Homo-oligomer: A and B are copies of this chain.
Amino acid sequence: MTHAAAHVAAVTAAPALEPPTGAALHTRVEALAQALAATAVERDRAGGHAAAERELIKASGLLALSIEREWGGWGADAPTWLRVVRRLAEVDSALAHVFAFHHLQLATVRLYGTAEQQRRLIAGTLDSGAFWGNALNPLDRRTRATRTADGWRLDGVKSYCSGSVGSDWLSVSAWHEDSGSLLIGVLPTRTAGLTVQADWEAFGQRQTDSGTVRFDGVRLPDADVLVAPGSTPSVRGTLRPLLAQSVLTQLYLGLARGAFDAGRRFVVEQAQPWFSAGVARAADDPLVQHRWGAWSVGLRAAELLAEDAAAQLQQALDAGPAVTAAQRGQAAVATAQAKAAAHRIGLEIASNLFETTGARATSERLGLDRYWRNLRVHTLHDPLDQKLRDLGRHALDGRLPEPSPYS
């Protein structure tokens, strides 16, 4: 265990009679955030698999955050664990993504699985200390499912599998040609025939452990199938993409806030006033202040939209199987609005904070470009303009977003 992991573990070590909430949760999250922050700039440049930092996350206990209390977890609802994602993304949006995808896969089991599967897999996660990743990319149909006597056989490849490198369990999807639909299941990453290739090479979000997963005659028993091909999707099941979209929103917001804080600090502590501006400090320049004022409005607005969307989503989750398409649709609108706003203000701040810092802020050592790079890469998960179009349909015709893997 590294020194940092030891520190995080120490914060976590006190025998928890009660799962940490409120201030206690805050303390643990801050300890993890500080530990990640210490090396974030350097790791962002280097890319690759952040094995030590994954250990930090495990040591923090936060992998139990969204797990049900009755099974020994911390029982946080979606708005709570999404806020932790946001906080971690302020300092390290790649690891925050890995962390978020762990909880997203647990939610996947919760939303799609039977009571038995939920108990076995979610409670089992706690017992085994497992870290979840995914191999679900619904747009990549190259992995095919073939029926066997007692389950399915998976063959093919799946790209853009966030969190797969270094994971213990994976949620997976495979295309079933006969029914023209997807199968969704779960598999231990160390299953025979399953290999993960660490081939992510984008210019941002470099440590998201997004690999390519290859299936060579992988056996998936029926017991681990969450959604069989041809199943009629329930409204409740369609909350999963809203949770996935919410994760993205929180990551954008964390990056936006991270850029805001880092930029603000640079302006206040290091930026030089321009010689003709007639002020003693860059932070006293009305033109500089004006930019930061506008950004503060945009950022706060996006945060409120995200909080509102998360609350609506939680209500829909709380409704259980009784959730209606209308309730789901309203939450989908709120989720899309929050994501669009976070996308825009994040890029705006991350790209333009430099207008107020001067050239010195572009030193590689500071790594202030990483907010733009990380946002730029991560905001391309699904296209902004299509989301705005969906929202326009709703605004004009009252049409709720079509449930899809991205809405």
Residue positions of A touching B, CB distance < 8 A: 139, 160, 201-204, 260, 264, 267-268, 274-277, 283, 285-297, 300-302, 304-305, 308, 334, 337, 340-341, 347, 351-352, 354-359, 361-365, 368-369, 372-373, 376-377, 379-397, 402, 404
Q: Are B297 and A388 in contact (CB under 8 A)?
A: yes
Q: Are B294 and A305 in contact (CB under 8 A)?
A: no
Partner of A358, one of B295, B305, B357, B383: B383
Q: Are A289 and B369 in contact (CB under 8 A)?
A: no
Q: Are B286 and A362 in contact (CB under 8 A)?
A: no
Q: Are A288 and B372 in contact (CB under 8 A)?
A: no
Q: Are B289 and A389 in contact (CB under 8 A)?
A: yes
Partner of A355, one of B355, B359, B373, B384: B384
Q: With the chains together, A377 CA to B355 CA distance in Å? A: 10
Task: Evaluate whether A202 and B283 lie within 8 angstroms (CB atoms) in the complex, with A296-B391, A304-B301 already known.
Answer: no
Q: Are A359 and B386 in contact (CB under 8 A)?
A: no
Q: Are A386 and B301 in contact (CB under 8 A)?
A: no
Q: With the chains together, A392 CA to B260 CA distance in Å? A: 12
Q: With the chains together, A94 CA to B390 CA distance in Å? A: 34
Q: With the chains together, A395 CA to B263 CA distance in Å? A: 11
Task: Evaluate whether A354 and B382 lie within 8 angstroms (CB atoms) in the complex, with A304-B301, A395-B296 already known.
Answer: no
- Give, as a whole number of angstroms, the nearest-CB distance from A197 to chain B: 15
Besides the contacts A160-B359, A301-B304, what 12 more A-B pairs have beta carbons closer than 8 Å?
A203-B363, A275-B404, A286-B286, A287-B287, A288-B385, A289-B388, A290-B388, A293-B387, A297-B388, A304-B305, A354-B379, A354-B380
- Give, as a whole number of angstroms, the nearest-CB distance from A396 to chain B: 5
Q: With the chains together, A358 CA to B139 CA distance in Å? A: 13
Q: Are B369 and A290 in contact (CB under 8 A)?
A: no
Q: Are B358 and A300 in contact (CB under 8 A)?
A: no
Q: Are A397 and B283 in contact (CB under 8 A)?
A: yes
- Which residues of B lie under 8 Å from residue A334 when comparing CB positions? 300
- Give, as a whole number of angstroms, the nearest-CB distance from A403 to chain B: 12
29 A-B residue contacts at CB 8 Å?
A139-B275, A201-B364, A203-B368, A204-B369, A260-B395, A275-B404, A276-B386, A277-B386, A285-B286, A289-B388, A289-B392, A289-B396, A290-B388, A290-B392, A292-B395, A293-B387, A293-B389, A295-B395, A297-B340, A297-B388, A301-B304, A301-B337, A304-B308, A354-B379, A355-B385, A357-B380, A359-B380, A361-B380, A369-B376
- Which residues of B lie under 8 Å from residue A352 when comparing CB positions? 347
Q: Are B394 and A296 in contact (CB under 8 A)?
A: yes
- Which residues of B lie under 8 Å from residue A387 when comparing CB positions? 293
- Which residues of B lie under 8 Å from residue A380 when comparing CB positions? 354-355, 357-359, 361-362
Q: With the chains together, A289 CA to B302 CA distance in Å? A: 21
Task: Evaluate whether A396 and B359 lie within 8 angstroms (CB atoms) in the complex, with A286-B287, A301-B302, A341-B297 already known.
Answer: no
Q: With the chains together, A69 CA to B328 CA distance in Å? A: 39
Partner of A289, one of B267, B289, B292, B393: B393
Residue in A288, A294, A358, A368 with the greatest tally of chain B CB atoms within 10 Å: A294
- Of all A-B residue pairs in the complex, the 5 with the closest CB atoms, nearest first, are A289-B392, A293-B391, A293-B392, A293-B388, A292-B392
- Give, as a whole number of angstroms, the nearest-CB distance from A337 to chain B: 5
Partner of A392, one of B274, B296, B392, B396: B296
